[in-house]
Structure 1
Amino acid sequence: MLKRSTNFASKIKGIVSFKENTAIVIPISKGDERSYFIKGKNLTGIRAGDLVDCLITRKQLRHVKIIKVLRKNILKKPLNHISLYEKGIPNIFSDKSMRECEKIELPSTFNDHKDFTHLPFITVDPQDAKDHDDAIYAIKGINGVDNFCFKVYVAIADVSFFVKENSEIDFEARDRGNSTYLPNLCIPMLPEKLSFNFCSLLEGEIRPCLVVEIAIDEVGKKIFHTFHRAIIKNIKALTYEDVEIFRHEKIVKTLPYSQSLTDLWDLYDLLLKEKKDRSPLQLDFPERVISADVDDNVLDITNVKKNNSNQLVEELMILANISAAETIKKCGMGNLFRIHPTPSNEKIETFRNIRGAGACITKNGNKITSVHLNEFVNSAKGVDEREIYKQEIIKLLEQARYSTKNDGHFGLNLKSYTHFTSPIRRYADIIIHRLIINFTINQHSMTNSKKSINLGEICDHISFTERRSSEAERDTTRRYLAKYIRNRIGQNFEGKIIGFIRKVIFIKIDYLDAEGVIVLKRGQNDSIYFDKDRQRFLHKHSSEEFNIGSRIPVTLIKANELNGSLTFRYNH
């Protein structure tokens, strides 16, 4: 029998520090709390505060060798920069791309675009938005005259007009895959001249767009759609709050966009009926917003829920994306779909064991749909149980990704879906724009297109960059949470148990939406223990049981802003 070596090699990333003249690395990955000792003769140029990539040479002794300095003196940068260099996210455009961008000009005329500037388009975005890549306009049909109930126009910035295929900017956008949005930091996919100006649908400016015209019937179903390459003029840049106020207070009805906005809200009521019939997965987690000052001090952390205006725009974007997916599928183009696979049989079996979950799975094998999962969530008794059910569903779900194979979208409960509506921040959308323009508007054959790009490779790459950005956002949020709460070490909180393994209880502080752990060690937290037969924690001196969803008193004992971990102690 071969003896397994305990000195296998693996890597860690961390920040250099010196403790009593001993060089150490403090890990930045969550769950690794102990420092490593730097070994090796060549430490020239290594300074405290450097972010480094290390090879673990002896795991038990926690010895590492520095193989690369990722960023000098990272601690003098804002906290969000750790994730950029940790994940290897490009944040500086090449000289070639910038020189190419400088030569791009905004033309005074657009000969290949229809003129839709007479239509009162508006944009609806968050207050701090810089890149406006979609605008909307709606009109109600006339009974007995029109063959539709509503017609909506969704105009999306024509990025492909400025970013030519296989140009330097195109190569760099493809490499980045998407814009990355971290707390208090945006790393755009395209240079700012394009992202925030030429491609952005700025108020009062004429911009080239790819417009999808969609007809809707009286029950909210799409009748037909048509794509146009056109110029539009955004007559008003509104915020979600503006649109919400318009609906409820019914003010300023004489503005050029008032009738369109009224029709948009009436259309929204129809789309909600169609959405209810389709029953996409309804988890509705709030968005966490972190505010920091110029010195990177965290000022506030809030959880923001979507309002009706958010959902209005979201439903219109989904409708436009469905139209794009149907078009590329019908025309037999080089396909690029946004897929969300059905949960695996293995995950379904694990999910079936959760209390109440078995009833949401049909008796016909292991089949499960978003309809069943929505019923499961709605069966919850109280807010806490509802949140537990949602978290269990997250564990069940597969990860959405890009693919040349149309496997449908489980979460949206759609047979075909793609991404079309955000070409300023997603490379997938640029590809879809080019396909639609080439094969439906210009009516070119697809013979030449297949030679220019390998869609399979691009799907894999942009799925990777999307995951990378998502992980960077998650990790950065955790770091800022730890930074925000670190001055409360020693304070008491109410923690909700969200999971456990034998020696660790995972808890959540609701009002911050912050997660942490209680580590059960000998001599600490001795009043509770894990009963493996009953799969729950018990109190030694009472009959009290702790399970997922139980609320317990805890004290914060550690907040590590370098890896975003929070450690608590149970207060018995």
Structure 2
Amino acid sequence: IGSEAREGDIVLAEPAPQGAGRHFGPKPARVTEVLGRMGEAKSVSLICIHAHGIPTEFPAEAVAQAEAARGTALGKRTDLRATPLVTIDGEDARDFDDAVFAEADGSGWRIIVAIADVAHYVRPGTALDLEARRRGNSVYFPDRVVPMLPEALSNGWCSLRPKEDRGCLFVEMRFTADGEKIGHRFGRGLMRSVARLTYEELQAARDEAREPQDLEAGHTARLYGAFEALLGARTRRGTLELDIPERRVVLSPEGEVLGVAPRPRLDSHKLIEEFMVAANVCAAEELERLVQPTMYRIHDRPSDQKLEGLRQFLQQFAINMPPGNQLHPRNFSHVLAMVKGAPHERLVNETVLRSQSQAAYAPDNIGHFGLALARYAHFTSPIRRYADLMIHRALIRGLKLGADGLTEAEATEMPAIADAITGTERRAAAAERDAVDRYLAAFMSSRVGETFSARISGVTRFGMFVAVDETGAQGMVPFSAMPEDRWEEDPATQS
């Protein structure tokens, strides 16, 4: 009632008042907004956005503050514009948070990671800040991004676009040839990215021994040399290395699903990951040195209950796990190495993943189990994560880099903010999974009647979950729908 909605529209609605007496059947509702039409590709993400309560509209005051932003002057900043920093991101990225540089330093390596200076534009307590905190993070769907910051900042003044001056917070790190850190220093700078590269372009430059346009000779080799040193340190540290292929939904310009493709995992992805992990560790260490409030990124060891379930599962394959108090991430990686190439490799990887605790944000440190790190914080993505903005403000305050650092009120609110942004992160992940599932369902609906290779991914009392190898789509097969035959459930092996 009360709208111009038509049959087949997807709408938002609220309960409408009813008269006195008993009422049966569908209840009246008032349509508040028409989102789109059933069957329209763009409607998929809209459904997920509203179903999960993802904020989409920015308050007018926040938009005005973002649009009033202008470039950053050098002032007391360190001038990094002569340093050939480059951004390396996905093909469709527009919010460039980070830029990197590496060079030989004696027998070791010098690495600079420069991060967008979001704190310069988003001041504590402003409309921009309050809205960013409410959102907690950007949300990425196959066909769109719901940003944490208005586009004037996220894709504009904060984004480290090539050939444009941008303010940044940077960390300069020095490592031995074996990837062990010798020292680091933080600063506030003015930089100018020399190139915007994709992961594929950087990988091709490495594989084909040629430099991308705008990069000097040897630039790629130095980046990969530093990466290999850091990778060696990671291997010795013994991190949890899961091998679960990611898939991405491929859309047409009109938003129709063309297919599902594996998301490549290139060395260039790992390079940026290692540079960012190193910078994040430095941020946590620096804030502890400065005795500043810290928003740690924590990851607890698996619970005893989950470990016991995992042990029982692995015993089916004659694999044993050490006791919980002796458990280290490398134990899980050892298990995964044992099943590499086996028919049950994927199942073991997924079961190990399900046994892990969820990562979270917290002002009290318990370390990061998966990365095998004693301390860790998120510093490298302040355009899309509020936690990183908090870390920037704490560094600015501790290092006396400006008047826009962490306030006492924020320091007091740190536990509540940590809980809130942990919640928004999980909300975003659920919405993103929901959207991918809906796109996959739409894609598979056009292939009803075809035969696919699939595997059992889980078993319950009333049916089994089956995952299609080609697309990753999952569905429930009720036992009641299966042919009349004798079926024996083995919960331990999920079969």
Fold conserved between structures, TM > 0.5: yes
1:356-381 alpha-carbon deviations (Å, 9 max, x no partner): 38854324x55422111111111116
CA distance 1:288–1:164, shift in 2 (3 Å): same
The one of 115, 125, 133 aligned to 2:89: 125
Corresponding position of 1:83:
48
> TM-score by structure 1 length?
0.79
Residue 103 of structure 1 pairs with residue 68 of structure 2: yes
Counterpart amino acid of residue 170 in structure 1 = D
Contact 2:456 / 2:467 at 8 angstroms: preserved in 1?
yes
2:104 equivalent in structure 1:
140
1:102 Cα deviation after fit: 2.4
Task: Please give the secondary structure, in 1, of the residue aligned with 2:436.
Answer: helix
Question: Which structure has the bigger radius of gyration?
Answer: 1
Shift of 1:245: 1.5
Q: Which amino acid is 1:131 matched to? A: D
Distance apart, 1:47 and its partner CA: 5.7
Match for residue 116 of structure 1 among 62, 67, 80: 80
Residue identity opposite 2:75 in structure 1: N
Q: Distance in 1 between matches of 2:429 and 2:82?
A: 39
Q: Which runs of 5+ in 1 are unaligned?
A: 1-42, 56-61, 144-148, 537-546, 550-572
Q: Any idea what the Cα deviations from partners look like across 1:433-476, whole Å, max 9, x if unmatched?
A: 01101112439999952466501111011111101110010000
Quote the residue 1:38 is aligned against. none
Larger deviation, residues 63-72 vs 495-504: 63-72
Q: 1:203 to 1:258 in 2, by over 3 A?
A: same
Partner residue in 2 for 1:560: none
Compute the displacement of 1:270 (Å): 1.2
How far apart, in 1, do the equivalents of 2:94 and 2:418 lie? 27
- Compute the displacement of 1:228 (Å): 0.9
Tell me, what secondary structure is at the counterpart of 1:123?
Answer: strand
Which residue does the alignment assign to 2:446? 487
Say yes or no: does 1:290 pair with 2:242.
no
Q: Does 1:525 align with 2:490?
A: no
1:361 lines up with 2:321 in the alignment: yes
Identify if the C-alpha distance between structure 1 residues 73 and 208 changes in structure 2 by more than 3 Å, giving closer, same or farther: closer
Matches within 5 A, 1:66-77: 71-75=33-37, 77=42
* Higher RCO, Cα 8 Å, sep 6+: 2
Q: Does the C-alpha gap of structure 1 residues 258 and 284 become closer, same or farther in structure 2, counting only changes over 3 Å?
A: farther
TM-score norm. by structure 2 comes to 0.91
Match of 2:227 in 1: 268
Q: Counterpart of 1:220 in structure 2: which amino acid?
A: G
Which of 198, 219, 238 is 2:197 aligned to?
238
Of 369, 388, 396, which residue of structure 2 is paired with 1:410? Answer: 369
Write the letter of the residue equivalent to 1:486.
Answer: S
> Greater helix percent: which structure?
2
Matching of residue 496 in structure 1 with residue 455 in structure 2: yes
Aligned partners of 1:70 and 1:85 also within 8 Å: no
- 1:216 matched to 2:175: yes
Q: 1:531 aligns to what SS in structure 2? A: coil
Map of 2:18 onto structure 1 = none
Q: Where does residue 425 of structure 1 map in the other structure?
A: 384
List per-residue Cα deviations over 1:255-275 (Å, max 9, x = no partner): 544333221111111112111
- Aligned counterparts, 1:459-478, within 5 A: 459-478=418-437
For the residues of structure 1 that align with 2:277 and 2:450, how far apart are their CA atoms? 45
Which residue among 161, 186, 195 is the counterpart of 1:227?
186
Q: Distance in 1 between matches of 2:10 and 2:94?
A: 32
- The partner residue of 2:401 within 431, 439, 442 is 442
Q: Is the 8 A contact 1:378 1:386 kept in 2?
A: no
Mark the CA change 1:516 to 1:368 in structure 2 (over 3 Å): closer, same or farther: same
C-alpha contact (below 8 Å) 1:121/1:257 kept by paired residues: no
CA-to-aligned-CA distance 1:30-55 (integer Å, 9 cap, x gap): xxxxxxxxxxxxx5547643445789
Between Structure 1 and Structure 2, how many residues are aligned? 482
Number of the residue aligned with 1:151? 110
Deviation at 1:295, TM superposition (A): 3.4
In 1, are the aligned partners of 2:84 and 2:101 still within 8 Å (CA)? yes
> Which runs of 5 or more structure 2 residues have no equivalent in the other structure?
16-23
| Shift in CA distance, 446/486, structure 1 to aligned 2, threshold 3 Å | closer
Change (3 A) 1:422 1:69: farther
